[in-house]
């Protein structure tokens, strides 16, 4: 049987070596994976835009938010698994790593199956709450319900991806997504372009791809890390470990869910501008998603870096990383944003030929991406703090960004000016979040004390 030492080349040890070299080596596979994930979500939009029309395109754009509302709680728990995994890795505690794995496997089934069923039946009420127009209703209903039925695979994959990131293995997800991307593209071409199944075919292709990603992630962990004793089916939970995971992950998940619910409120304001603006917003998301490739990767690197070094009591590295990682995230994102703004029109024209749709999409891209670098700085600092297991302040700031800044600003614009400019609320909220997190670094006594109270190193227990 392979030992943990056999897999060191698969993992990145954030507790030793040049900080930014390790962070970038960790982030690059995630960026590549994000590109693949972007491709198979973009294929949905591209194929539907080419073969189905504006109504179906608007349905896909508006259907992502209700799915996120219910899934985000459980994906937040996946972040809790990632943080616990990184802390145990830094401390060298194999026994607790096994407990984390065992608990996460069971939690996937305990959450994924009910959320798929509940989401399926709640979809009409959610779409009604969002004010989805009548001409988009049927397509949005079908697409959302099918995606909910794939929730188990989505949660399972994200839970295992979080576990692997905590270990320092960010390369594995790239291979899982490569396989699922190929499957998704082929199914899109067969079901939508070939069999003309419209949005139901696109949703089915995405759901099947996520299930494949989950299955491959289980097989990979069992083969590469047999010492973790990962299983296909649940074997119960370790209550103490579940409590720690939920204490970290549940606030993050609830915050993400409330954030997604806020996105639904934003989508309602988008829907109020009509199908053309909805379609423009939907395809603008394709360009914005491309520009944001580095944000989640650098944020994941920040979480793993802080978690591992906190577990290993490497306080000096924490102090250096808290500045270097957000700075790099902001600069990388700014570079992506400028490039995407410059090439936005050739990309947008791949999704629609309607000049009004393209006009709205182009404006949305320019406004949002102009301030996206601030979100990158905010998000990397937030995830750095989360990696230490301290999530209250980050959750509070995230909620205020949306509910106290973005939504009120968007409402004021729609109420007293022109609703097609509601995207101005994004850079306003990004600036608020960035300065709030920088202020925490500078003024918080809790933060300064925390860096001097790293937990004791735990001896490796096999």
The two tokens of residue 410 are 């968007």
Q: What is the dihedral of CA 95, 98, 104, 106, to 10 degrees?
A: -110
Q: How far apart are CA 86 and CA 275, in angstroms?
A: 45
Q: Which bin fits 140, alpha (ψ -120 to 50), beta or left (φ > 0)?
A: alpha
Q: State pLDDT tens for residues 107-142.
A: 888 888 888 888 889 888 888 877 788 888 888 888
Distance CA 433, CA 390 (A): 17
The pLDDT tens digits for 18-62 are: 899 999 998 888 888 777 777 766 666 677 777 777 777 777 766
Mean pLDDT computed over every residue of the chain? 82
**What are the DSSP calls for 292-351, one per residue?**
THHHHHHHHHHHHHHHHHHHTT-HHHHHHHHHHHHHHHHHHHHHHHHHHHHTHHHHHTTT
Which phi and psi (to 5°) does residue 352 adopt?
Answer: -155, 150
Backbone angles phi, psi at 304, to 5 degrees: -65, -40
Gyration radius from the chain CA atoms: 21
Question: How much is the pTM?
Answer: 0.76
Task: Select from 255, 268, 256 the least CA-distant residue to 410.
Answer: 268
Predicted confidence (pLDDT) per residue in 267-277, tens digit: 778 777 777 88
DSSP class of residue 461? -
List of E strands, 44-113: none
* Predicted local confidence at residue 429, as pLDDT: 92
One pLDDT digit (tens) per residue for the chain, 462 residues: 344 444 445 578 888 888 999 999 988 888 887 777 777 666 666 777 777 777 777 777 666 666 776 677 777 788 888 888 888 888 788 888 888 888 888 888 888 888 888 888 988 888 887 778 888 888 888 888 998 888 898 889 888 988 888 888 878 878 887 888 888 888 888 888 888 888 888 888 888 888 988 998 999 999 988 888 888 888 888 888 888 888 888 887 777 777 666 767 777 787 777 778 878 887 787 787 777 778 888 988 998 898 888 888 888 888 899 999 999 999 999 998 899 889 888 888 887 778 888 888 888 888 888 899 999 999 999 989 988 878 888 889 988 988 899 889 988 988 888 877 888 888 999 999 999 999 988 887 777 777 665 444 443 333
Task: Say which residues have a Cβ less than 8 Å from residue 215's Cβ, sequence separation at least 6.
Answer: none
**Sequence-separated (6 or more) residues with CB below 8 Å from residue 148:** 67, 70, 115, 116, 119, 120, 123
Q: Which two tokens stand for residue 426?
A: 């994004």
pLDDT of residue 2: 43
CA angle 446, 371, 270 (to 5 degrees): 110
The reported pLDDT for the residue numbered 433 is: 94
pLDDT at 452 (0 to 100) = 67
Helix 407-416, helix 425-443: angle, nearest 10: 150
Cβ-proximal residues to 239 (8 Å cutoff; 6+ apart), any chain: none
Determine the Cα–Cα distance for residues 377 and 337; give it in Å rounded to an integer: 14
Rounded CA separation 145/207 (Å) = 11
* Burial (Cβ within 10 Å: 0-12, 13-18, ≥19) of residue 239: exposed
CA 257, CA 289: separation in Å to the nearest integer? 20
Helices (H), 225-238: none
Instruction: Give the Cα separation of 52 and 293 in Å (integer).
Output: 28
Q: Give the Cα separation of 189 and 454 in Å (integer).
A: 52
- The model's pLDDT over 365-375, given as tens digits with 9 standing for 90+, comes to 888 888 999 99
Contact (CB, 8 A) for 91 and 26: no
What are the CA-CA distances from residue 413 to residues 153, 159, 365 (Å)? 39, 39, 18
């Amino acid at each position: 049987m392979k030992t943990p030492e056999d897999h060191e080349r698969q993992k990145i040890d954030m507790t030793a070596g040049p900080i930014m070299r390790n962070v970038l080596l960790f982030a690059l596979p995630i960026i590549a994976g994000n590109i693949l994930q972007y491709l198979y979500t973009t294929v949905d939009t591209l194929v539907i835009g080419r073969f189905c029309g504006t109504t179906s395109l608007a349905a896909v754009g508006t259907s992502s938010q209700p799915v996120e509302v219910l899934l985000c709680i459980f994906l937040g728990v996946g972040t809790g698994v990632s943080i616990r995994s990184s802390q145990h890795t830094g401390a060298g505690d194999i026994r607790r790593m096994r407990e984390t794995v065992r608990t996460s496997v069971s939690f996937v089934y305990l959450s994924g199956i009910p959320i798929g069923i509940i989401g399926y039946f709640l979809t009409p009420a959610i779409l009604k709450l969002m004010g989805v127009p009548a001409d988009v209703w049927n397509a949005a209903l079908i697409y959302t319900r099918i995606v909910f039925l794939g929730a188990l695979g989505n949660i399972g994959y994200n839970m295992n991806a979080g576990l692997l990131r905590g270990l320092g293995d960010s390369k594995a997800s790239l291979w899982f997504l490569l396989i699922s991307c190929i499957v998704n593209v082929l199914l899109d071409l067969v079901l939508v372009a070939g069999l003309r199944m419209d949005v139901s075919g696109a949703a089915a292709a995405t759901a099947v791809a996520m299930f494949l990603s989950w299955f491959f992630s289980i097989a990979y962990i069992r083969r590469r890390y047999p010492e973790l004793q990962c299983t296909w089916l649940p074997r119960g939970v370790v209550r103490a470990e579940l409590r720690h995971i939920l204490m970290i992950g549940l606030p993050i998940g609830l915050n993400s869910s409330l954030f997604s619910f806020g996105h639904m409120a934003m989508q309602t304001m988008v829907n109020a501008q009509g199908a053309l603006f909805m379609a423009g917003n939907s395809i603008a998301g394709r360009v914005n998603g491309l520009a944001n490739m580095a944000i989640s990767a650098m944020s994941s690197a920040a979480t793993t870096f802080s978690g591992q070094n906190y577990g290993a009591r490497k306080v000096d590295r924490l102090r250096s990383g808290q500045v270097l990682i957000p700075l790099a995230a902001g600069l990388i994102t700014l570079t992506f944003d400028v490039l995407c703004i410059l090439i936005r029109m050739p990309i947008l024209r791949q999704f629609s030929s309607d000049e009004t749709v393209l006009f709205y999409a182009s404006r949305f891209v320019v406004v949002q991406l102009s301030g996206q670098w601030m979100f990158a700085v905010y998000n990397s600092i937030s995830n750095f703090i989360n990696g230490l297991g301290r999530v209250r302040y980050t959750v509070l700031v995230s909620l205020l960004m949306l509910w106290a800044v973005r939504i009120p600003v968007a409402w004021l614009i729609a109420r007293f000016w022109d609703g097609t400019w509601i995207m101005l609320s994004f850079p306003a909220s990004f600036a608020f979040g960035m300065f709030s997190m920088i202020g925490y670094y500078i003024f918080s006594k809790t933060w300064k004390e925390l860096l001097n109270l790293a937990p004791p190193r735990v001896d490796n227990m096999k």
